[in-house]
Chains A and B, each alone.
Chain A
């Protein structure tokens, strides 16, 4: 079967700065699920690769461990791919710097997810000249 007929997907699981589990615990939990997945421990968390449905299930189960501090995103290249893997190429993997930058915000993101606040998407209206005049005259 060609990869196009049976596409394998790869997802990165990223632990937020306040996550209550470590990378090794995360990988152990993933192994304990006994799902047919390729699991790779990484500096940010783990990368999992396998059939789409199975990967999705693994992500859902892992997220349940710490819903506000475990993040996930798709990855194009499979784990350990020599075209991307740091071990073969040397230097930081493409995408690492972006991840590093977004990681700085993850603590605030998890805090916002845990404590949602009501906000309005409407833009603030401009003050009309008449209204402005009234305000100016009042003072």
Chain B
């Protein structure tokens, strides 16, 4: 199954999803499409004027263009998702995932999509990390059972 993860570039989440035989929908996949096209010539991302227009599918016109531009990357991942794992309060909310409003919009879209969602808090110590890992594994196994 295709699992959306949030933060969408998390190593731990992507790795755990892959270990259980599912496909993590990671942000890097969308980035790769943009940076490996032949016409790319300027850093940091090959964002074009088309992207905020694509983002209109996910955010209204009044929403800042930055959010719409980011949604052009993140929106297709949310559309593809069969299930989602959301880890809130991750300390690395910067770079491509640094926009708080985009983060909120993504989480909102995942929650209202009517798919199985596991919500967790970013662990801060060893015990919490172990609990988070066990919960993710139980959640991913339960998806397999539900799908036969």
A binding-site residues for B, Cβ under 8 Å: 2-4, 7-10, 12, 14, 71-78, 81, 83, 94-95, 97-99, 101-102, 105-109, 111-113, 116-121
Note all chain B residues with C-beta closer than 8 A to A7: 32, 36
Q: Tell me which residues from 5 to 26 in chain B have a Cβ below 8 Å from any Cβ of chain A.
A: 9-12, 14-16, 18-19, 26
Docked pose: A76 CA to B77 CA in angstroms: 15
Any A CB within 8 A of the CB of B43:
yes
B130 and A8 contact, CB distance less than 8 A: no
16 pairs from A and B in contact (CB 8 Å cutoff): A4-B36, A10-B32, A71-B11, A72-B15, A73-B15, A74-B29, A76-B30, A77-B31, A77-B32, A95-B95, A98-B10, A101-B91, A111-B130, A119-B135, A121-B118, A121-B139
B binding-site residues for A, Cβ under 8 Å: 9-12, 14-16, 18-19, 26-38, 43-44, 91-92, 94-95, 118, 123, 125-126, 129-131, 133-135, 137-139, 142
For the A-B complex, the count of residue pairs with Cβ-Cβ distances under 8 Å equals: 105
B35 and A109 contact, CB distance less than 8 A: no
Docked pose: A3 CA to B11 CA in angstroms: 25
Note all chain B residues with C-beta closer than 8 A to A76: 27-32, 34-35
Note all chain A residues with C-beta closer than 8 A to B125: 108
Q: Are A74 and B26 CB-contacts (below 8 A) given A109-B133, A112-B134, A113-B133? A: yes
A71 and B131 contact, CB distance less than 8 A: no
Note all chain A residues with C-beta closer than 8 A to B16: 109
Docked pose: A121 CA to B142 CA in angstroms: 10
Q: How far is the CB of A13 from chain B (nearest CB, A)?
A: 11
Docked pose: A2 CA to B37 CA in angstroms: 8
Note all chain B residues with C-beta closer than 8 A to A72: 15, 18
Docked pose: A118 CA to B138 CA in angstroms: 8
Q: Closest residue of chain A to B44, judged by CB?
A: A83
* Binding site secondary structure of chain A: mixed
B134 and A117 contact, CB distance less than 8 A: yes
Q: How far is the CB of B144 from chain A (nearest CB, A)?
A: 14
Note all chain B residues with C-beta closer than 8 A to A119: 131, 134-135, 138
Contact of A94 among B30, B36, B95, B129 (CB under 8 A): B95
